[in-house]
Amino acid sequence: MPAPIPLDSTLLAGGCSGAASLRPLLETVLTALADGAAERCGPLPAGGPAAPDATIGGTILTEHGTGAHEALGALVHALARGAADPADPHCVAHLHCPPLAVAAAADLAASALNPSLDSWDQAPAASALEARVTAELAALVHPSGPSPDALVTTGGTESNLLGVLLARERHPAAPRVICGANAHHSTRRATWLMGLPAPLTLPTPRGVLDPAAVRAAFERLPPGAHALLVATAGTTDSGAIDPLPALADLVADERRRRPASLHVDAAYGGPLLFSARHRHLLAGVERADTVTLDLHKLGWQPIAAGLLTVPDRSALIPLAHRADYLNADDDTEAGLPDLLGRSLRTTRRADVLKIAVTLRALGRAGLAALVDDVLAAARLLAQLIAEEPGLTLHAPPAISTVLFRPTGVDDERVAAVRRRLLADGSTVLGRAWAPDASGRRTLWLKATLLNPRTQESDLAALLKLVLERAADPAPPGDRPAPFPQTPAHPLPKPLPKPLPSQRKPPDDRR
Ligand SMILES: *Cc1c(COP(=O)(O)O)cnc(C)c1O
């Protein structure tokens, strides 16, 4: 007799009894989340990659399964215990936000109902909600656009790809992407994926695009070539914002000579638009043809919550696509909404639900208060660093990223300090290369503040930990691999050589 499949593992999340089936499972999940967080009790599990691997236990796919409660309890507990928890004020390495509880609760409903936004008959209410939310958020970015609209994406990477794709579709000539060295790596990937030449990448010694250099780059393009300028509003490394009004002027001027487009990657900075106090930092963004916005960064959404906005929804027409089973012409003519052209994906999760619930629950003022709190925390951290002789501040923060380093140590020590804080699980800091006061390329520690509950005492404690690790000589064997290796994460092999399609185009050689 084979062992019976545990009944609780096969109950469905939807239908009239879905909620009743979920309720006891959620109790198990919430208990495991609470226990795991309490046991970790910090921003990261101590001990490096081997520690969480050990708590996961043995084989995942066994012959008969362990049942819903055991599996949920064990693995949710292992994930919580082994999490990098952005809700901890010392977890500040990346644009990795602590999600709001209200958004996470909404996301559970999206999972239970499982609408798929590739056809109306899979998502009647979700598609109506998405149409409302995308129009409202796009109007925030392009308040005077003729008919602002937005696509919901998996994040900045997909939005940047769509920005390049829509630019390509706007003109018969393939676009030549021009961006700064400060641009996100997904811009280069987008050109690679689309078979376009690699971007013409302008140096950004001051951290932002120089309009004079952009003008010179425009002038070097062959006549008639289509220029696509990609500007950044909030760089990943330092939060710097390119001079959007000047860049928008340049693109407008260039349009008298050639096809020219402007894409603004505001994955990080976009939500400043919620804040009356900080909105001015994004002046000019409304003039872009396409704008990337990530609400899983400064918008406190569970991953994924990306958007691509356009001032006029006609810009999205090139994405139109037919598949008879999803949007037959006669169905569309009969009035069924056609959703397939609202993404490059087919099956698509209702990420819009958590976004909509958050917007409705907090309102503009509620979101603005969170934005303002995070920016204030970054300013406070910068001030504490500036007052501490043992630390050097790179620059006042543009948004909520603070670069700093222990004073008088070399780059290798900065890198080792970060790894040692990771290894003991006390602090999760990022790293970024940027010039020092003398212009030398230097490695900095990066604190990306996204937690609106951060207190001054948290920031002071973080700096104390950095100072302690910086003063403590590195133990023998700290480099290059201080962490015990695990079967799940073997040491990486050397990267392959760039593919031929990534070779520089001829006009980069001048
Ligand atoms: C995070 C980020 C991206 C990539 O977004 P994902 O959501 O990670 O795909 C792109 N551009 C900038 C400026 C970013 O900060």
DSSP 282: G
- The answer on pLDDT for 285 being more than 50 is yes
pLDDT of residue 69: 97
Q: Look-up: residue for tokens 């500007």? A: 231
Instruction: Find out whether the beta carbon of 214 lies less than 6 Å from any atom of ligand 1.
Output: no
Whole-angstrom CA distances from 285 to 155, 345, 442 are 18, 26, 31
pLDDT for the residue 472: 83
Last residue of a domain, one of 344, 360, 376: 360
Neighbours of 474 (CB within 10 A): 15
Question: Same structural domain for residues 65 and 116?
Answer: no
pLDDT at residue 397, as a whole number: 98
> Which of 496 and 407 is assigned the larger pLDDT?
407
Q: Which residues contact 169 (CB under 8 A, 6 or more apart)?
A: 318
Q: How many CB atoms lie within 10 A of CB 8?
A: 16
**Arithmetic mean of pLDDT, 294-314:** 98
**Domain assignment present for 386:** yes
Residues 298 and 323 placed together within one structural domain of the fold: yes
Give me 439's structure tokens: 């212009």
The whole-number pLDDT of residue 52 equals: 84
Residue 314 half-sphere exposure, CB side, CA atoms within 13 Å? Answer: 4
pLDDT at 321: 96
Which amino acid makes up residue 442? T
Cα(108)–Cα(172) distance, rounded to whole angstroms? 44
Tell whether 457 and 440 lie within a shared domain.
yes
pLDDT for position 51: 83
Q: Which of 236, 264, 285 to mutate to test the pocket of ligand 1 (most atoms within 8 A of CB)?
A: 236
Q: Say yes or no: CB of residue 115 within 6 Å of ligand 1.
A: no
User: Are residues 368 and 356 located together in one domain of the fold?
Assistant: no
Q: pLDDT > 70: what percent of the chain? A: 92
Q: Convert the pLDDT of each residue in 414-464 to its tens digit.
A: 999 999 999 999 999 999 999 999 999 999 999 999 999 999 999 999 999
Residues 344, 421 within the same domain: no
> Residue 252 corresponds to which tokens in the numbers above?
């407008």
Ligand 1: residue of 152, 161, 184 to mutate (most ligand atoms within 8 A of CB) is 184
**What are the tens digits of pLDDT across the range 113-126?**
999 999 999 999 99
With CA atoms as reference, report the closest residue to 467 among 414, 404, 395, 391: 391
Task: Report the run of H or E that residue 90 belongs to, with start and end.
Answer: none
Say if residues 145 and 286 touch (Cβ distance below 8 Å): yes
Is the pLDDT at 507 greater than 90? The verdict is no
Return the pLDDT at 315.
Answer: 98
What does pLDDT average to over the chain? 93
Ligand 1 pocket test: which of 151, 153, 157, 208 has the largest number of ligand atoms within 8 Å of its C-beta?
Answer: 157
CA nearest to 35, candidates 90, 89, 72: 72
For residue 212, name the pLDDT band (cuts at 50, 70, 90). very high
- State the Cα–Cα distance between residues 428 and 341, nearest whole angstrom: 40
Picking from 360, 394, 424, the residue at the C-terminal end of a domain is 360
pLDDT classification of 134: cutoffs 50, 70, 90: very high
217 and 78 in a common domain: no
pLDDT tens digits along 68-114: 999 999 999 999 999 999 999 999 999 999 999 999 999 999 999 99
Looking at the domain assignment, is residue 221 inside a domain?
A: yes
Residue type (1 letter), 480: P
Tell whether the torsion through CA atoms of 55, 57, 60 and 64 is positive or negative: negative
Residue 176 and residue 323 in one domain: yes
DSSP result, 169-231: HHSSSPEEEEEETTS-HHHHHHHHHTTPPPPEEE--TTSS--HHHHHHHHHHSPTTPEEEEEE
Indicate if 339 and 261 belong to the same structural domain: yes
Q: Are residues 193 and 333 in the same domain?
A: yes
- Strands 401-406 and 200-202 turn out to be unpaired
Rounded to 5°, angle at Cα 143 from 140 and 144: 165
DSSP secondary structure of 104-131 = HHHHHHHHHH---TTSGGG-HHHHHHHH
Structural domain boundaries, residue 24: 18-84
Indicate if 373 and 277 belong to the same structural domain. Answer: no
H/E element, 262: strand 260-266
The reported pLDDT for the residue numbered 510 is 32
Contact 404/432 with Cβ under 8 angstroms? no
Token reading at 8:
């609780």
Does residue 267 line the site of ligand 1, with CB under 6 A?
yes
Flag whether 506 is in a domain: no
φ and ψ of 432, to 5 deg: -155, 145
Index of the ligand 1 atom closest to the CA of residue 306: 7
Alpha carbons 451 and 134: distance in angstroms, whole number: 25
Ligand 1 mean position, distance from CA 164 (Å): 15
Q: Are residues 282 and 411 in the same domain?
A: no
Give me the pLDDT at residue 498, please.
55
Number of domains observed in the structure of the chain = 3
pTM: 0.94
Asked if 285 and 379 sit in the same domain, the reply is no
pLDDT at 49: 86
Cα(27)–Cα(76) distance, integer angstroms: 12
Which of 325, 360, 395 is the last residue before a domain boundary? Answer: 360
pLDDT of 250 over the 70 cut: yes
Is residue 182 in a domain? yes
As a whole number, mean pLDDT of residues 464-472 equals 94
What CATH number does residue 219 fall under?
3.40.640.10
Q: How far apart are CA 255 and CA 170, in angstroms?
A: 13
Report d(CA 354, CA 271) in Å as an integer.
Answer: 16
Instruction: Say what the pLDDT of residue 482 is.
Output: 57
Q: Is the residue at 501 inside a domain?
A: no
Task: Give yes or no for residue 311 CB within 6 A of ligand 1.
Answer: no
User: Tell me: the pLDDT tens digits for 388-411?
Assistant: 999 999 999 999 999 999 999 999
DSSP conformational letter for 417 = H
What is the distance between the alpha carbons of residues 373 and 217, in angstroms, rounded to a whole number?
A: 39
Question: Are β-strands 200-202 and 430-435 bridged in parallel, bridged antiparallel, or unpaired?
Answer: unpaired
Please classify residue 38 by burial: count the beta carbons closer than 10 Å to its beta carbon, then call 0-12 exposed, 13-18 middle and 19+ buried: exposed
Q: Is the pLDDT of residue 286 over 50?
A: yes
Kindly report the CA angle at 108 between 133 and 303, in degrees rounded to 5? 65
- Residue for token digits 């693995």? 75
- Ligand 1 in contact with 157 (CB < 6 A)? yes
Segment 44-77, tens digit of pLDDT: 998 888 888 888 988 999 999 999 999 999 999 9
Distance CA 139, CA 93 (A): 32
Residue 380 counted as domain residue: yes
- What does the alpha-carbon distance between residue 15 and residue 9 come to, in Å, rounded to a whole number? 16
Q: Where is average pLDDT lowest: 141-145, 147-151, 362-366, 468-472?
A: 468-472
**Residue 294 near ligand 1, beta carbon < 6 Å:** yes
Task: Pick from 263, 282, 292, 351 the residue to mutate for probing ligand 1's pocket: most ligand atoms within 8 Å of its CB.
Answer: 292
Q: What percent of the chain has pLDDT over 90?
A: 88
Q: Is 478 left (phi over 0), alpha (psi -120 to 50) or beta?
A: alpha
Predicted confidence at residue 487, as pLDDT, reads: 63
For ligand 1, whether the C-beta of 156 sits within 6 Å is yes
- Supply the DSSP symbol for 428: B
Residue 4 covered by a domain: no
Residue 86 to residues 3, 94, 114, 296, 362: CA-CA distances in angstroms?
Answer: 41, 9, 27, 12, 20
Residue 95 maps to a domain: no
- Integer-rounded Cα radius of gyration of the chain: 24
Please indicate whether residue 186, judged by its CB atom, sits closer than 6 Å to ligand 1: yes
Please give the distance, rounded to the nearest whole angstrom, from the Cα atom of residue 156 to the centre of ligand 1.
Answer: 4
| pLDDT over 60 at 273, yes or no | yes
Query: Of ligand 1's atoms, which has the minimum distance to the CA of residue 186?
Result: 10
Q: One-letter amino acid identity for 252?
A: A
CA of 158 to the centre of ligand 1 (A): 9
Question: What's the CATH code of the domain at 387?
Answer: 3.90.1150.10
Q: Which residue has the CA at smallest separation from atom 5 of ligand 1? A: 156
Average pLDDT over residues 299-325: 97
Residues 462-482, mean pLDDT to the nearest whole number: 76
